[in-house]
Structure 1
């Protein structure tokens, strides 16, 4: 898959967010066909999915596709020794660890 002119991509070839611009929505790129997968969500994950759908207005399918892509990028970064740091509006920073 080749990105559109001027588009930024991460290590996995997926579109990256550009500061000051909203992230791309829907479609997910990747070309090719769809793969149907059945997923059984625990109640906590189901509630999280509902919250994200409400916040973004995206479909559950688009939300799950996006979540998997984000998770892959995060796992790749962590496997290379990186860490996920959230900087709060107060300036405080929080390191997020996946267990």
Structure 2
């Protein structure tokens, strides 16, 4: 399988792989699992929230 990435996604993939010490394939596999989880939660009315410095923010993926 080959994947065509837009430039910002390619840059993010390269950064994540380097930062985490993972292969690009491992990063893509993890990203797909997280995305699947988020979409399954949204399908049943759930939300994904992030808390940073005491502030809570709802994550929107469009």
TM range (shorter): over 0.9
- Give the helix-richer structure, 1 or 2: 2
Aligned length: 62
In 1, the alpha carbon distance for the partners of 2:14 and 2:3 equals 15
Structure 2 residue runs of 5 or longer lacking an equivalent are: none
TM-score (norm 2): 0.93
Match of 1:57 among 7, 12, 21: 21
Structure 1 residue runs of 5 or longer lacking an equivalent are: 1-36
- Give the Å deviation of 1:51: 1.2
- Give the strand-richer structure, 1 or 2: 2
TM-score (norm 1): 0.60
RMSD between aligned residues:
0.8
